[in-house]
Amino acid sequence: MDSKFYMDNFERLLKEKSDEFRMYPTRRVWRSIYNNIYPGRKFPSALISILFITMLPLIGLLNTKTTATTGNIALLSGNKIFITEVSQSASIKIAANTIAFVSSVELHKTNVRNIVAIIESTKEDKEKNINYNAANQRLNRFSLNNSAPKTSVSLTAKPDLTTNATPPVLEDDRNVHVINNNTIEKNIAAANYALQNSQTSQKWTDKLALQIYASPSIIYGVSAGPQTNVPSIEGNNMQNVGLEAGTAMQYPLSNILKIKAGLQFNYASYDIAANQPGHAPLISNDPATTNMNILARASDFSSTASAITLHNEMYQFSMPVGLEVKLLKHNNLQWNAGATIQPTYIAGGDAYLLSSNNHVDESVLINRWNLNAGFETFITYKVNNITWQLGPQFRYQFSSTYGKTYSGVDEKLAVFGVKIGVVKVLH
Amino acid sequence: MTEELLLAGCLQNNASSQEELYNRFSPRMLGVCYRFAKNREDAEDMLQEGFIKVFTQIHQYRNEGALEGWIRRIVVHTCINVLKKNKKFSDSVDISYASGIHVPEENIPSIVQAKQVVEYIRLLPIGYRTVLNLYAIEGYSHKEIAEMLDIEESTSRSQYTRAKAMLEDILIKKKILFNPRLNSVFAGAVAK
């Protein structure tokens, strides 16, 4: 038989030595714990990093094309010559005896000084009885650099020419054929125009556009049950209204793709229907002392579970960064689609916490930082230098509004709205 | 930082307080996990899971007893849950495994280091080792152990007896322990 003394000593030895034993974990363990507790915090850095990394080669690829050039265009009306600078995306008026030219002639790796352009008539021109045969016949002939390639270019128009007649409006993106010397001799009669094309590159700041927008919206959200041993709460669907308003800068990467970034203010106001068990007491949670006090409850509800309504409000600031792509274009109308990633900061509001059968107004329990994704599609209409846009948009919140530690409730908002915006290119 | 301040910071969801708490208790808790786990990686996984539970349930700590003891109980339960997911505690498995353990005998008594004791405990079969850890080191009763491991109380007792005998044998061979039938004290070089 083992003596009791020995048995106690043996177990005491085991306990002492085991308690003395230490092992130091690798850094990976803490990082995993942190990412699990704060899942929303890892996404912004990872996603934004991925966004910028993928954008860099894309920008490089898109910018390897020869940049379009603008130059001074001489416009003739009668015997007068007007020389003005031109820019993209403007409407133009054509006088009876004047040929209007457009900007952004794309020349492939040459320094062509003089070109000849023939304006191509479109179906719409023919319907409006507009043709440029006479105008084309009056084109001046210019000697072209022999190395100039034959190419068709798509040009945009120049605004505000003074004319005596009532001219039709020449729309954007009119095809103009640029042809070489030999072809001129054969096909083109000189007209009363002159063109000087200088290799003036457009500054990047000239391409920047400012967008201002607002979007009234409807808010949906789902509160899932808790993930710990807290008694379950029924899921709540919330529906209420909100408003998003903001401003963004846009920069075209190519003819169809734009990058945009800006600042946005979001306001959300929604109700939560919380089911409260009839027999549970009302408990208040004091965040200063962490004590939970059971209060006597006088309820207006019956002994069966009934819903009470809590009203939440939130004010947020976000920084949408994303892309916009042109899908279709017809004259001044255009159909676009866009997507953004929006790191968001909750600046304030009234947030009620659902936890077991407690309803506590505790704004410190919400996740201050969050990440949203926005998707939109819209129609634009351009008038002079202003582009109006209208279309639906959808925004989804990735992380829960509430921190995991206290609530055990996973609430994510989904916002559907109609976006109204105005875009103007800055010069 | 005192424990009270640490606790208050963790309740406020302060990341630096949480990290400080983790840094303070993780070395000992990893030691606890290492006694239950198959290897260091498994032990770190158990530690990670345990501390996630600590931080998500910290509001349930009622200041009854030391904070370390509360954390330790959570970590031990986490270790058991992981083991239960991966292994059934079976007498027949443990006995067949135990018969395969061979420990070379030492000629010279050695100073008992904490790491040595833990490594010898880890030589035991999983079932024996778990019961030994829970009864002799963590202080659970056989009834509690039976509930935790979903075994009979008699199984817990018998496994502990076998575990203790096996561990004694190992420690005798390593000259850490004298034969208890001849001498009821340990080898002289027990480190304090």
Are B55 and A30 a contacting pair at CB < 8 A? Answer: no
CATH topology of domain B88-192: Arc Repressor Mutant, subunit A (1.10.10)
Specify the residue for token string 């996990």: B33
- Cβ–Cβ contact A44 with B under 8 A: no
Closest residue of B to A32, CA-based?
B48
Q: Which among B12, B13, B48 has CB closest to A29?
A: B48
DSSP 3-state assignment of A95? coil
Instruction: Show residues of chain B in contact with A18, CB under 8 Å.
Output: 31-32, 35, 114, 117-118, 121, 137
Are B184 and A5 a contacting pair at CB < 8 A? Answer: yes
Q: Would you say residue B188 has pLDDT above 80?
A: no
Give the per-residue pLDDT at A357.
Answer: 45
| Residues 48-77 of chain A whose Cβ lies under 8 A from any Cβ of chain B | none
> What phi, psi does B71 have (nearest 5°)?
-65, -40
Give the per-residue pLDDT at B31.
Answer: 94
Mean pLDDT over all residues of chain B? 82
Instruction: Show residues of chain A in contact with B118, CB under 8 Å.
Output: 17-18, 21
Span A309-328, mean pLDDT? 88
For the domain covering B1-86, report its CATH number. 1.10.1740.10
How close is the nearest chain B Cα to the Cα of A25, in Å? 7
Q: Which among A18, A26, A28 has CB closest to B117?
A: A18
Give the per-residue pLDDT at A269.
Answer: 84
Q: Would you say residue A366 has pLDDT above 50?
A: yes
What is the per-residue pLDDT across A129-184, written as a single tens digit (0 to 9) for each? 655 554 444 443 433 344 444 333 333 333 333 344 344 444 434 444 443 333 33
Cα distance between residue A270 and residue A371, in whole Å: 19
The residue ranking higher by pLDDT, A67 or B78, is B78
The domain A37-61+205-425 is classified under which CATH number: 2.40.50.100, 3.40.50.720, 2.40.160.20, 3.20.20.220? 2.40.160.20
Longest distance between any two alpha carbons in chain A, whole Å: 128
Closest residue of A to B139, CA-based?
A15
Closest residue of B to A227, CA-based?
B56
Pure H helices in B122-192:
126-132, 142-149, 153-173
Extents of the domains making up chain A: 37-61+205-425, 69-201
Are A25 and B113 a contacting pair at CB < 8 A? Answer: no
Instruction: Show residues of chain A in contact with B140, CB under 8 Å.
Output: none
What is the per-residue pLDDT across A58-76, written as a single tens digit (0 to 9) for each? 666 655 544 333 333 333 3
Residue A278 β-bridge partners? none
Extents of the domains making up chain B: 1-86, 88-192
Are B13 and A20 a contacting pair at CB < 8 A? Answer: no
- Cβ–Cβ contact A34 with B under 8 A: yes
Cα distance between residue B14 and residue B55, in whole Å: 11
Specify the residue for token string 């199984």: B155
Both tokens assigned to A135: 């105008």
Its ipTM equals: 0.83
Which residue in A27, A33, A355 has the most chain B C-beta atoms within 10 A of its own C-beta, making it the best mutation to test that interface?
A33
DSSP 3-state assignment of A26? coil
Query: Phi/psi class of residue A310: alpha, beta or left (left: φ > 0; alpha: ψ in -120 to 50)?
Result: beta
Do the beta carbons of residue B163 and residue B126 sit within 8 Å?
A: no
Our measurement of the distance from residue B91's CA atom to the centroid of its chain's CA atoms, rounded to an integer in Å, reads 20
